[in-house]
Amino acid sequence: MVERLPAPEGMRWVEGAVTAPQGFRAAGVRCGIKTEGPDMGLLISAIPAKSWGLFTTNPVKAAPVIVSQSRVQRGRARGIIANSGCANCCTGPQGIADAEAMAALAAQGLGLATEEMLVASTGVIGAFLPMEKVRAGIDAAVQALSSEGGPDAARAIMTTDTVPKSSALEFSLPDGRVLRVGGIAKGVGMIEPHVATMFAFLTTDAPLPHERGASLLRLAADSTFNCLTVDGDMSTNDTVLLFSNGAAGGLALEADSKEEGLFLTALEAVCADLTRQIARDGEGATKLVEVRVSGARSTVDARRLAKAIANSNLVKTAFFGNDPNWGRILMAAGNAGVPFDANTARVTLAGYTVFELGRPAPFDAAQVSRAMAAEELTVRFEVDQGDAEVVVYTCDFSYDYVRINAEYTT
């Protein structure tokens, strides 16, 4: 399990995941879509809520993405019904009908309008949902809803994840109001998000104005989920949703105010915590890796360099073997399409400088290898072109990554 970073100043981590904020209930049940474990999750706000979403930019989009992407534009969704074990992707008109039916069944059970429910699915591509099991699962999830059900929902959306992923943070505004942000996520393979991530469902009892939620969500995702890669492959089902029900009371947070700044800090912290959990639980991973690039001309250049390093199979296998092979890191950076001068670059592994100013730095390979064996590894790549910095989260590649994906459908 990845070690949680300290909460931002004046804030504290709390339990409860997506049900930590006031007014949210959730459930996770088993209906038999998967061979074992819970596979149907439900999240709902007990009172009207605003909603915003980010979705995969892969042109191959799953049916639930198409349905939810259309509905979230209304900005008034109350919740999400989500299954694991079947992606409902590349399933044609029947897939769309099944996704709409999932949302309708959940809405009916909750006494809501169909348009108020969003839908998400994850699992094997090309399989149709077993709708009889889905119906039974939705009925059970509605009955199991609880203000303490956030952790159950986190377990229900897992596929090849080995652990559920959840986070929640509490903070106070200058006027004394106490607000919370919560989240759950899933995903350990087929992960290099663009605009969104695998699944990340976020909740808050903060009163957000509708016109600000989308930009705040995008800002938080851009520095967290969009700086994540496990294997360089973007999913067909990536979905990030934020629900705000204002249950904490008071006036809506004003744009660019101190109060909104505090909320964004909390939202980014929750998203970063979930991002780190996903990277550490990458398929077959043995360690969380942070690739930190600094001194680039722009954030775009810094991200390209960091992603090139983080996505290199040769680099990732070296991380698995605790091999301080800095040559692979330079090779990968050189493939990023970002010009830089190796004579002014520096590479640091686990706190040890291994390359600088165009030549190897003196270091004890055995000592650095031992340091690289920790469950969290930081790699720094510094260029001398500007002041842009980026952190990208990834993991190593082990033998198990190949095994898991070679046997995924067989």
What phi, psi does 84 have (nearest 5°)? Answer: -115, 165
| Distance, CA of 387 to CA of 130 (rounded, Å) | 53
Q: Supply the DSSP symbol for 169.
A: E
Two tokens at 97?
């009908």
Q: Which of 122, 197, 229, 394 is catalytic?
A: 197
Q: Which residues contact 235 (CB under 8 A, 6 or more apart)?
A: 56, 58, 187, 190, 191, 193, 198
Residue pair 182/60 in contact by the 8 Å Cβ criterion: no
Q: Supply the DSSP symbol for 5.
A: P
Active site residue 91: no
| Distance, CA of 307 to CA of 193 (rounded, Å) | 11
Please count the other Cβ atoms lying within 10 Å of the Cβ belonging to residue 389.
14
- The per-residue DSSP string of 188-227 comes to SSS---SSS-SEEEEEE-S---HHHHHHHHHHHHHTTGGG
| Distance, CA of 355 to CA of 343 (rounded, Å) | 10
Q: Which residue numbers are catalytic?
A: 197
